[in-house]
């Protein structure tokens, strides 16, 4: 099979746009709310999800013919959980500050509906290369949304833009003190979880508008 | 009139369907119906013909708010004169206050009009006058020294998130004015958290509001004693009734709010059931808390913990401090977001009163609970209506065996 024929392209681009796991299917919302306070957290989270989702899709797709249907959930969970543990340990080893900030939310990737959903809906029915592309597309669709949400939350909520580095994050830009002196104030609501809901809702609204999705009346 | 009619007929030709300016039809329609009643006829039932359309209803609410605006402006000037040790007189104080009220009003209306017109043009619905009332209410819930850009953002949020995303006036769940108030409260807590005095004074001028005094006392005492001990402002009952205390622009003078309430009830716009039942709910809960306080401090339930002075506020004080009256008269009775059945209105109003006292007294983080109570009950209003209607159906069925 060719890697970049039109079907593969569709597998990878659909979840980013017209079938986005967060904004269209509304899956994986919990982590999208929890780790979007700062941009660097969202970026690291995205990388972790890309790794876990691609690997779990490929592994499950490879062994799909040997999994008895009745116990598939258990097997899927154990594969995903081992991969998440690997990510967790890697973060603790090399990005300790980040791992402390993300705290339980790395471990909670296991319960992220997107990963189980893709394993169940796609990986168990397709070959490994397609499953890999599907995992890549879905995790990037997830990442795109949480990066957008966290960008706005951090910029307007805390007044900074932070990129990940080895330590506590590299502040790319922060609102200058002269703005604060002129009366500017950060919108404290965005740092709270309801702020994430509001931004996410607006992103979903705009995305559906562009993707041309019609709500059922 | 003929002259006006001619103008609208001439300009109307340019915004008909198919013409290049047809996107501006909502604007034309909005201006037209200010002067003339519409000649459009409904094509489907129900056919209700009444001159009391949304535009007129909303206009009466705006009229009822004018005294609150006038007093709000005067109060800003009065408190400023008090803080600066000045003598300015009635006119001087009002003019000084208008200098703060009018910019807020303009910021609100500009933001509201931009959002409303944008949505009217994109969604191709008619410009709805509901935003006039929302925009007239928002400045009254603001502190006088609030930055105008925050008013702008708050209003846009209230109009878009509170109303337009639900489909505009008539389909919104939450009161748009309160939505923007709640947004401002959580987004910019340093400006409007409600525990510091809202008055235009010299730099660094500050103090505790009537609600914050019993919330954070230096040592426990009854609320009445704490009010009496405060020497920055005169928090006596009669002074709180006349409204010469710091607060949001429109909420301090209870007499003018009552005047607005009677006006709205007389015109048949606001529901008296909601106003009465929410007051009942407030009195009931306040008395319950007074009893609880009596039992835990002096009575049989003494625990030895620090008593909560908020529990000692009497029902009358609850009505006079903060913006309970303003909220229940102008916000809770909003016809769209309140309950629609009469039994439902009693329940809805009563629970607003109960929640107001609970949020005020039990939760130390929120000194003012009215707007949160009304928003929560807005959410439950359709549910209350549903069960009232179902109960009625069941009752009639069982009667008819």
Give Cα B250 distance to the centre of its chain: 9
The tokens describing B126, both together, are 């008619």
State the pTM of this model: 0.83
| CA neighbor of A37 nearest in space, from A195, A167, A205 | A195
Q: Which residues in chain A have their CB less than 8 angstroms from residue B187's CB? A: 187-190
Nearest CA in chain B to A157: B187
Q: How far apart are CA B399 and CA B401, in angstroms?
A: 6
Lowest mean per-residue pLDDT among A136-145, B77-86, B369-378: B77-86
Nearest CA in chain A to B189: A188
Burial of B303 (0-12, 13-18, 19+ CB in 10 A): exposed
Percentage above 90 pLDDT, chain B: 23
Q: How far apart are CA B161 and CA A100, in angstroms?
A: 35
Query: Chain A: which residues have CB within 8 Å of chain B?
Result: 183, 185, 187-190, 192, 194, 198, 205
Percentage above 70 pLDDT, chain B: 90
Q: How far apart are CA B348 and CA B325, in angstroms?
A: 16
Instruction: Give the model's confidence band at B377: pLDDT under 50 very low, under 70 low, under 90 confident, else very high.
Output: very high
Burial of B210 (0-12, 13-18, 19+ CB in 10 A): buried
Q: Which residues in chain B have their CB less than 8 angstroms from residue A188's CB? A: 186-189
pLDDT of residue B393: 92
Long-range contacts from B7-12, C-beta under 8 angstroms, 24+ separation: B8/B32, B8/B35, B8/B36
pLDDT of residue A210: 79
| CA neighbor of B311 nearest in space, from B334, B335, B285 | B285
**Does some domain include residue A205?**
yes
The CA-based dihedral angle spanning residues B300, B303, B305, B310, taken in that order and rounded to the nearest 10 degrees: -30
Contact B187 A187 (CB under 8 A): yes
Cα–Cα distance list, B45 to A152, B48, B49, B341 (Å): 47, 8, 11, 22
Pairing of strands A170-174, A160-163: antiparallel
Contact B187 A190 (CB under 8 A): yes
Q: What pLDDT, in 10s, does the model give residues A65-122?
A: 898 989 988 999 999 999 999 999 998 898 888 888 888 888 888 888 888 888 888 8
Give Cα B235 distance to the centre of its chain: 23
**Does some domain include residue A17?**
yes
The more confidently predicted of residues B394 and B54 is B394
The parent domain of residue A184 ranges over: 11-210
Contact B187 A194 (CB under 8 A): no
Contact A187 B188 (CB under 8 A): yes
Contact B183 A189 (CB under 8 A): yes
Q: What pLDDT, in 10s, does the model give residues B239-289?
A: 888 888 888 888 888 899 999 999 999 888 888 999 999 999 999 999 999
Nearest CA in chain A to B157: A198
**Does some domain include residue A5?**
no
pLDDT of A1 higher than 60? no
Q: How far apart are CA B284 and CA B275, in angstroms?
A: 14
Contact B188 A192 (CB under 8 A): no
CA atoms within 13 A on the CB side of B77: 20
Answer yes or no: are the C-beta atoms of B270 and B331 closer than 8 Å: no
Q: How many domains does one find in chain A? A: 1
Q: What pLDDT, in 10s, does the model give residues A166-182?
A: 777 788 888 888 888 87
Size of interface A-B (CB pairs under 8 A): 22
């Amino acid at each position: 099979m060719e890697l970049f024929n039109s079907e593969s392209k569709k597998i990878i681009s659909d979840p980013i746009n017209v079938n986005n796991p967060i904004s269209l299917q509304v899956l994986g919302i919990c982590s999208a709310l929890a780790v979007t306070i700062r941009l660097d957290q969202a970026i690291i989270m995205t990388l972790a999800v890309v790794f876990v989702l691609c690997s779990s899709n490929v592994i499950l797709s490879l062994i799909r013919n040997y999994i008895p249907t009745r116990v598939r959930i258990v097997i899927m969970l154990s594969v995903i959980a081992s991969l998440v543990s690997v990510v967790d340990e890697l973060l603790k080893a090399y990005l300790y500050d980040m791992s402390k900030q993300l705290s339980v939310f790395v471990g909670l990737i296991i319960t992220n509906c997107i990963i189980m959903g893709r394993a169940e809906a796609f990986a168990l029915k397709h070959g490994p290369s397609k499953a890999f592309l599907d995992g890549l597309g879905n995790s990037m669709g997830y990442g795109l949304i949480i990066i957008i949400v966290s960008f706005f939350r951090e910029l307007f909520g805390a007044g900074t833009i932070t990129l990940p580095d080895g330590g506590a994050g590299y502040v790319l830009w922060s609102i200058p003190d002269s703005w604060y002196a002129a009366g500017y104030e950060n919108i404290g609501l965005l740092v709270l979880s309801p702020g994430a809901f509001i931004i996410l809702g607006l992103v979903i609204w705009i995305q559906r508008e562009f993707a041309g999705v019609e709500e059922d009346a | 009139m003929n002259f006006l009619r001619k103008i609208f007929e001439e300009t109307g030709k340019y915004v008909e369907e198919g013409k290049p300016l047809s996107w501006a039809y909502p604007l034309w329609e909005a201006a037209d119906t200010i002067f003339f009643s519409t000649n459009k006829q409904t094509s489907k039932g129900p056919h209700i013909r009444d001159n009391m359309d949304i535009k007129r209803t909303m206009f009466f609410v705006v009229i009822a708010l004018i005294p609150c605006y006038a007093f709000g402006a005067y109060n800003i000037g009065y408190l400023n004169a008090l803080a600066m040790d000045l003598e300015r007189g009635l006119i001087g104080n009002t003019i000084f206050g208008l200098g703060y009220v009018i910019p807020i009003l303009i910021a609100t209306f500009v933001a509201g009009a931009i959002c409303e017109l944008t949505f009217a043009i994109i969604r191709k619905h008619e410009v709805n006058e509901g935003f006039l009332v929302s925009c007239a209410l928002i400045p009254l819930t603001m502190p006088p020294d609030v930055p105008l850009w925050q008013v702008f953002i708050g209003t846009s949020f209230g109009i878009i998130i509170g109303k337009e995303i639900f489909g505009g006036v008539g389909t919104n769940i939450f009161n748009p004015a309160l939505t923007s108030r709640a947004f401002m409260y959580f987004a910019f807590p340093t400006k409007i958290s409600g525990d510091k005095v809202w008055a235009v004074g010299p730099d660094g001028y500050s103090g505790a509001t009537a609600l914050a005094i019993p919330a954070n006392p230096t040592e426990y005492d009854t609320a009445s004693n704490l009010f009496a001990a405060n020497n920055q402002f005169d928090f006596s009952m009669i002074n709180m009734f006349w409204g010469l205390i710091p607060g949001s622009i429109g909420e301090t003078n209870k007499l003018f709010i009552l005047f607005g309430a009677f006006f709205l009830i007389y015109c048949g716009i606001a529901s008296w059931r909601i106003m009465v039942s929410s007051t009942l709910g407030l009195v009931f809960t306040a008395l319950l808390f007074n009893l609880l306080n009596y039992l835990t401090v002096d009575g049989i339930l003494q625990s030895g913990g620090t008593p909560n002075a908020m529990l000692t506020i009497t029902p009358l004080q609850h009505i006079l401090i903060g913006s309970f009256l303003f909220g229940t008269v102008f916000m809770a009775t909003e016809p769209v977001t309140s309950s629609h059945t009469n039994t439902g209105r009693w329940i809805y109003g009563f629970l607003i009163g109960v929640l107001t006292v609970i949020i005020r007294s039990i939760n130390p983080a929120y000194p003012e609970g009215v707007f949160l109570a009304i928003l929560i009950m807005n959410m439950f209003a359709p549910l209350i209506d549903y069960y009232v209607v179902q109960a009625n159906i069941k009752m009639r069925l069982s009667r008819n065996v």
